[in-house]
Chains A and B, each alone.
Chain A
Amino acid sequence: MYTISNRLKTFSIILIVLGALGVAYGFMTSHKSLEEVKTMLVEEHAHDGGQDASAQVHTESPDSAVSGTADVSHDDEHAVHVQAQLAKRPWSAMYVSALFFMFIALGALVFYALQIASQSGWSPVLFRVMEAISAYLLPGAIIVILLAVGSHYIGQNNEIFVWMNPDVVAEDKLIQNKSGYLNITAFLIRAIIFIGGWCTYRYFARKFSIAQDNAEPGDNRNFKKGFRIAAGFLVFYLYSESVMSWDWIMSVDPHWFSTLFGWYVLSSMVVCGITVIVMLTIYLKGKGLLPMANDSHIHDLAKYIFGFSIFWAYLWFSQFMLIWYANIPEEVVYFVSRIEDYKLLFFGMVALNFVFPFLILMNSDNKRVPWFVMMAGVVVLIGHYIDVFVMIMPATVVDRWFIGIPEIGSVLLFGGLFLLVVFTSLSKAPLTPKNNPFIKESENFEY
Chain B
Amino acid sequence: METSSKVIHAMYTDDDVLMAAVKKVRAERYHIEEIYTPFPVHGLDKAMGLAPTRLAITSFLYGCVGLVVSIVMIDYMMIEDWPQNIGGKPSFSYLENMPAFIPIMFELTVFFAAHLLVITFYLRSKLWPFKKAENPDIRTTDDHFLMEISAGDNIDEQFDILRNTGAVEVTLIDKAH
Contacts and interface: CB of A to CB of B under 8 A. Distances in A.
A325 B100 contact: yes
B88 A321 contact: no
Interface in B88-144: 88, 99-100, 102
Interface in A354-381: 362, 364
B99 A320 contact: yes
6 contacts: A317-B99, A317-B102, A321-B99, A321-B100, A321-B102, A364-B56
Main secondary structure of the interface of A (DSSP, over half): helix
Contacts of A317: 99, 102
Contacts of B159: none
Contacts of B99: 317, 320-321, 324-325
B60 interface: yes
Contacts of A362: 60
A10 interface: no
A43 B99 CA distance: 39
Interface residues of B, number: 6
Given A321-B99, A321-B102, 10 more contacts: A317-B99, A317-B102, A320-B99, A321-B100, A324-B99, A325-B99, A325-B100, A327-B88, A362-B60, A364-B56
Nearest to B103: A321
Interface string B20-61: 000000000000000000000000000000000000100010
A320 B99 CA distance: 8
A320 B102 CA distance: 12
Contacts of A320: 99
B88 to A, nearest CB: 7
Interface in A300-334: 317, 320-321, 324-325, 327
A317 B99 CA distance: 8
Nearest to A324: B99
Contacts of B56: 364
A329 to B, nearest CB: 13
Nearest to B99: A321
Contacts of B60: 362
Contacts of B100: 321, 325
B119 to A, nearest CB: 21
A174 to B, nearest CB: 26
A317 B106 CA distance: 12
Nearest to A317: B102
Contacts of A324: 99
A317 B60 CA distance: 22
B97 to A, nearest CB: 10
A321 B102 CA distance: 9
B19 to A, nearest CB: 15
A439 B131 CA distance: 48
B87 to A, nearest CB: 9
A249 B80 CA distance: 42
A372 B99 CA distance: 31
A320 B60 CA distance: 27
A253 B56 CA distance: 45
A92 B76 CA distance: 45
The CB with the most chain A CB atoms within 10 A, among B60, B99, B102, is that of B99
Nearest to A321: B99
A7 B100 CA distance: 53
A362 B60 CA distance: 10
Contacts of B88: 327
A260 to B, nearest CB: 16
A331 to B, nearest CB: 14
A321 to B, nearest CB: 4
